[in-house]
Chains A and B, each alone.
Chain A
């Protein structure tokens, strides 16, 4: 028989392993429709109105429905469907919608509140495509300048190969078009959570404060 303290520390070690596994699972599925629990749906229903419940369940059904049939060969078609699906949400400025200058909403928040601005669409699409099985190396959230609007804007770019001309998923445009045809946009800077690999094992996007806030909220949602 082992001394109590030793047994205690073993129990503690076991709990730590469980917790680490759970965190790893969450981290892999953060922002996925499957990580939205019934409790979270209830919370958002009371916060954003009863319609939110319907919308969230619809989002889950949408991803599930396309997930089974979605295969790499059909990626381009899937981009169009996902782009259109999320573009249905109303465009509302952050200050109007969340009461702050700049707010990066989670996919669930976008769906439940049925509103967001450019980066919220890009983020929701990024997570949905990841959930549908598209390798994240092909997906980059990109800071751009809109020459028409004369303001900063954000879109999701899809690169079939690293050197390729990307396809642009834009909330202002339901059509998916290559970057070379989007003369109204100037690409400035892009990132995804794969940048972690470039930074030598430590997540580089940790340095992007808004992304960090977003990740915190995604983790909270996943725990609910």
Chain B
């Protein structure tokens, strides 16, 4: 009923003041009534005594006419209801009586505070003779009026006092409880997993202790998060980077390649460049390992700089081989890149004085359409390296590894998508997410597939890059989300449900507005929905993600990151965006089985997530072996073929 502490205190104080002032008012009015009553009595007695003294001689002479003229001026003043003159024998000689007149106050008032009309008498003596008596009855009219005025006068004062004390109490409570509001703000921030705010230090002792404790606890949690974050970062570095050159190692490159080239969804062509030194073992033997490492380091620096300049992904693949992935590079562009790289590497070798003692070959593998698996692309590039080596002239060679999608031209894709969007030719599939270690159902993830002209369903990985390329992501998301929300609303027995949304869609204000109104219209569905964004997409525009998650919070829904753990800034992203959970990229699964470093990394990720209330879920789990590893690292759940395959989602 009452909101804040201040309102409750104010209500209590106002009731207490009201009772107090009502009590004072009552005491005052009752006392005033008693005084009025006594005054009426003495007033009657005074009149009786003075009339008794002055009437004696007149009654002795039986001069009633004169007696009446003595009584009249007293009576006519209006203070008396009745004046009677009675002979000593008991005969009424003279009676003056006021006609019934109004009291001048409301009846309820006279009933509440009754005033008696007192009668006083006095003997009338003529010399020593008792000749009669005079009886005077006061009229309470004036006393009532006086009492009425007194009552209202004091009531007005009390009301004024009441208002003044309420204003004073309000001001006082406001100043005393102000720090409480600051503490409340911090408490809410902590509730929202934000440990950065600190409460002001209040003057009130109890509040000061509360504020100090909250601040110190919050600081400790914050510190623990910092430490865990730093540890996870260093473990990630160790697991996915080469210790000599600092570039990604083979494992790191594989995961990053999956994320950048295959999962990001915006790649429609590209190339992979391999730089391979030949006979590096001989160089190591002749010049020493120290020289060998120094050479690799300087070459790695050149490769990293070149690759970064064009948005590529570089790695130290093995002892003397480097790879560079170039998303969306044409065959021609990749050739130019390789030539420039060769010149830069030559320059670096020349500077170190090794031009004559070591040789290398460059090969380029290219693809059109969605990216083929890394192995396939590597094979194409490796073939090119081999051809270059066999020619022995150090020239760059190219090999193609085009995917199936590339067989359809870009404009044909556009037409196909346009048709599917306008006719709604998509089908919804669901996949269960199971909890660990109990394998209970915790979530369904909804995935969309395109139905092509011949009625076959096409996986998102195959058509989504084209959707992005043709700027249709928001339209597709609207279509799918509208269908998901509608179907979820009709399926009340379904629990938490995850659905994907693209990073380009959420950057659009129109889309946010549409989604918000759609969610507010279906609150029961909104509360079960979690919107998944890819990590790589989120990393590009954090502000949009924050706006998106704020909107979802208002609408009762949540958001999460999937394909997580591949990006350079994974951990910062997780701490900044505070998703409900993160879904580890499937690329980690192989590494988890193979080595301890990535297990440490995942365990550290779980520990970092705990205070921030971020669950970690594994994706693409296909064999039993990896489950105990996930369990012991503290992963909350998993999905993939092992948890249950995709099935058509029907309400």
**Chain A residues with a Cβ under 8 A of chain B:** 140, 157, 159, 162-163, 165-166, 168, 178-180, 182, 186-191, 195, 198-200, 202, 204, 207
Contacts and interface: CB of A to CB of B under 8 A. Distances in A.
Contacts of B45: 199, 204, 207
Interface in B130-165: 130, 133, 135
Contact of B41 (A191, A195, A202): A202
A163 B121 contact: no
B128 A157 contact: yes
A179 B41 CA distance: 33
Given A187-B128, A198-B135, A207 B53 contact: no
B52 interface: yes
B119 interface: yes
A188 to B, nearest CB: 7
B127 A195 contact: no
B125 A190 contact: yes
A136 to B, nearest CB: 13
B128 A204 contact: no
A199 B116 CA distance: 13
Given A163-B88, A189-B49, A189-B52, A200 B129 contact: no
Contacts of B52: 189
The 10 residue pairs across chains A and B that have the minimum distance between CB atoms: A179-B128, A198-B121, A200-B119, A207-B45, A162-B88, A187-B128, A199-B120, A166-B128, A162-B130, A163-B88
Contacts of B128: 157, 165-166, 168, 178-180, 182, 187
Contact of B118 (A140, A188, A200): A200
B61 to A, nearest CB: 16
B34 to A, nearest CB: 14
Contacts of B284: none
A187 B52 CA distance: 13
B572 interface: no
Contact of A204 (B53, B89, B121, B125): B121
Contacts of A179: 127-129
Given A189-B52, A204-B45, A199 B121 contact: yes
B130 A159 contact: yes
27 contacts: A140-B123, A140-B130, A162-B130, A163-B88, A163-B129, A165-B129, A168-B128, A178-B128, A180-B128, A182-B128, A186-B127, A187-B128, A188-B53, A189-B49, A189-B53, A190-B130, A191-B123, A195-B121, A198-B120, A198-B122, A198-B133, A199-B45, A199-B120, A200-B121, A204-B45, A204-B120, A207-B42
B47 to A, nearest CB: 12
A163 B133 contact: no
Given A198-B133, A200-B118, A187 B125 contact: yes
Nearest to A167: B128
Contacts of A180: 127-128
Interface residues of B, number: 21
Contact of B119 (A168, A188, A199): A199
A199 B41 CA distance: 9
Interface in B211-243: none
Given A189-B53, A190-B125, A163 B42 contact: no
A198 to B, nearest CB: 3
A119 B460 CA distance: 126
Contacts of B120: 198-200, 204
A153 B539 CA distance: 119
A158 to B, nearest CB: 11
A210 to B, nearest CB: 14
B650 to A, nearest CB: 75
Contacts of A189: 49, 52-53, 125
A191 B122 CA distance: 8
Given A162-B130, A182-B128, A195-B121, 14 more contacts: A157-B128, A163-B89, A163-B130, A180-B127, A191-B123, A195-B122, A198-B120, A198-B121, A198-B133, A199-B45, A200-B118, A202-B118, A207-B41, A207-B45
B41 to A, nearest CB: 7
Contact of A187 (B89, B127, B135): B127
A165 B52 CA distance: 19
Interface in B550-581: none
A34 to B, nearest CB: 29
Nearest to B86: A198
Contacts of B88: 162-163
A165 B88 CA distance: 13
A194 B502 CA distance: 110
B45 to A, nearest CB: 5
A43 B558 CA distance: 99
Contacts of A202: 41, 118
Contacts of A182: 128
A191 B89 CA distance: 18
Interface in B80-130: 88-89, 118-123, 125, 127-130
Contacts of A162: 88, 130
Interface in B31-76: 41-42, 45, 49, 52-53
A168 B121 CA distance: 24
B126 to A, nearest CB: 9
Nearest to A182: B128
Contacts of A195: 121-123
A36 B88 CA distance: 37
A29 to B, nearest CB: 25
Nearest to B116: A200
Residue in A186, A188, A195 with the greatest tally of chain B CB atoms within 10 Å? A195
Contacts of A186: 127
